[in-house]
């Protein structure tokens, strides 16, 4: 039995992961480029914020901020958001339909029509559903194929709005191509948020600036990029660790540094359900008590094999939570 997805309607941050069916390596450079453009369009339509991401050959990671659900979206704002995802004719037809009901004094009908689109905004599941469905339609159309492209359900981890939790998760995502052995420096991998930002991508820079703003750091891209790169590399630019070293430390029940952890495959970041300080995890657990077995008494799980600096998760993976660097 899978645990019901935990979402916060008051606004929250999530790490989302989705994989290609059978983990096939179907996402080449052309596909990744289209996925990235589509991601930005869906981001605009759903009015969410992608803080960073990593697109790999058979899966993707996205750290996204979902704002609190919004009521009373104006007609003009709705049409603006639709412009990211729908063609001009569709928007004009919707404008005409809404205007007709307004002239007839039936604002209730106009609002009911708008709600069909507004309900898809500020919602994690709708953001991911729209992104994956739209990409699948494009992918199948390009290859004259049919059927689903993705494994059925995406994974999501609710991340605490704190500097430590958010930057740890963001760094884990941007270091994905480093763990996979594709590059030595994430700025060299063009399909992650950090590399896109370094190359001048406005959307990617906006995302990382929003990440810094979330924990109270205000500044230009130049300032934010320096702070974030320090999070990526710890106290300095160091080489990755070997698989043998990781295995040895875990076997001996030793602890890895946070810098080393970020260069490993860590199930807490995709299977932990919630990631943050103990107090945050416990509060989410208590708010979602009905989703868990009665015999469970506490929400926060102490993380193993590393110097986690106070981070906890809501689930302790049954399999080894940390494994040597490899594609995940």
Checking if the pLDDT of 139 tops 80, the result is yes
Q: Give the Cα-Cα-Cα angle 197, 154, 240 (nearest 5 degrees).
A: 50
Give the separation between CA 232 and CA 241, rounded to whole angstroms: 14
Per the prediction, the chain carries an average pLDDT of 90
Give the separation between CA 45 and CA 43, rounded to whole angstroms: 6
Q: Give the Cα-Cα-Cα angle 211, 8, 157 (nearest 5 degrees).
A: 60
Measured distance between the N- and C-terminal CA atoms of the chain, rounded to whole angstroms? 23
- Per-residue model confidence as pLDDT tens digits over 59-68: 999 999 999 8
Per-residue three-class SS string for the chain: CCCCCCCCCCCEEEEEEEEEHHHCCCCCHHHHHHHHHHHHHHHHHHCCEEEEEEECCCEEEEEEEECCCCCCCCHHHHHHHHCCCCCHHHHHHHHHHHHHHHHCCCHHHHHHHHHHHHCCCCCHHHHHHHHHHHHHHHHHHHHCCCCCCECCCCEEEEECCCHHHHHHHHHHHHCHHHHCCCCCCHHHCCCEHHHHHHCCCHHHHHHHHHHHHHCCCCCCHHHHHHHHHHHHHCCCCCCCCCHHHHHHHHHCCCCECHHHHCCCEECHHHHCCEEEEHHHHHHHHHHCHHHCCCCCCCCCEECCCECCCCEEECCCCCCCCEECCCCC
Mean pLDDT across 123-141: 95
- Residue in the structure block whose two tokens are 């970020």: 262
Distances (CA, A) of 283 to 108, 123, 154, 289, 299: 38, 21, 24, 10, 8
Structure tokens at 64: 């996204």
User: What does the pLDDT read at residue 59?
Assistant: 96
Structure tokens at 17: 């992961």
User: What does the pLDDT read at residue 250?
Assistant: 80
The domain locations on the chain are 7-70+121-238, 75-118, 241-322
- Per-residue model confidence as pLDDT tens digits over 177-216: 998 989 989 999 999 999 999 999 999 999 999 998 877 7
- Residue in the structure block whose two tokens are 């929003």: 210
Give the separation between CA 105 and CA 51, rounded to whole angstroms: 42
Give the separation between CA 173 and CA 191, rounded to whole angstroms: 11
Please state the length of the chain.
Answer: 328
The region of weakest confidence among 37-41, 253-257, 277-281 is 253-257
Query: What CATH number does domain 7-70+121-238 carry, 3.30.450.20, 1.20.1260.10, 3.90.1150.10, 3.30.70.1290?
Result: 3.30.70.1290
């Amino acid at each position: 039995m899978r645990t019901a997805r935990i979402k916060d309607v008051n606004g929250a941050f999530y790490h989302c992961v989705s994989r290609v069916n059978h983990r096939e390596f179907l996402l080449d450079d052309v596909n990744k480029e289209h996925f990235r453009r589509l991601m930005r369009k869906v981001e605009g339509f759903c009015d969410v914020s992608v803080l960073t991401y990593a697109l790999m050959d058979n899966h993707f990671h996205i750290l996204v901020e979902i704002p609190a659900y919004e009521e009373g979206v104006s007609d003009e704002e709705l049409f603006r958001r639709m412009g990211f995802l729908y063609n001009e004719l569709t928007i004009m037809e919707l404008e005409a339909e809404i205007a007709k009901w307004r002239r007839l004094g039936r604002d209730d009908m106009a609002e009911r029509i708008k709600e069909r689109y507004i309900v898809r905004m500020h919602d994690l599941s709708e953001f991911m559903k729209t992104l994956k469905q739209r990409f699948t339609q494009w992918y199948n159309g390009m290859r004259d194929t049919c059927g689903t492209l993705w494994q059925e359900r995406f994974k999501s981890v609710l991340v605490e709005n704190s500097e430590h939790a958010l930057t740890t998760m963001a760094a884990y995502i941007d270091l994905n191509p480093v763990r996979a052995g594709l590059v030595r420096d994430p700025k060299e991998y063009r399909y992650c948020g950090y590399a896109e930002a370094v190359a001048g991508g406005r959307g990617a820079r906006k995302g990382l600036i929003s990440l810094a703003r979330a924990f109270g750091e205000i500044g230009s891209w130049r300032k934010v990029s320096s702070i974030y790169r320090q999070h990526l590399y710890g106290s300095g630019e160091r080489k990755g660790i070997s698989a043998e070293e990781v295995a040895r430390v875990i076997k001996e029940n030793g602890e890895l540094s946070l810098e080393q952890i970020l260069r490993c495959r860590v199930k807490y970041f995709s299977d932990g359900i919630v990631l943050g300080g103990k107090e945050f995890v416990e509060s989410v657990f208590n708010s979602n008590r009905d989703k868990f077995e009665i015999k469970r008494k506490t929400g926060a799980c102490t993380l193993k094999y590393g110097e986690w600096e106070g981070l906890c998760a809501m689930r302790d993976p049954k399999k080894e939570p940390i494994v040597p660097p490899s594609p995940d």
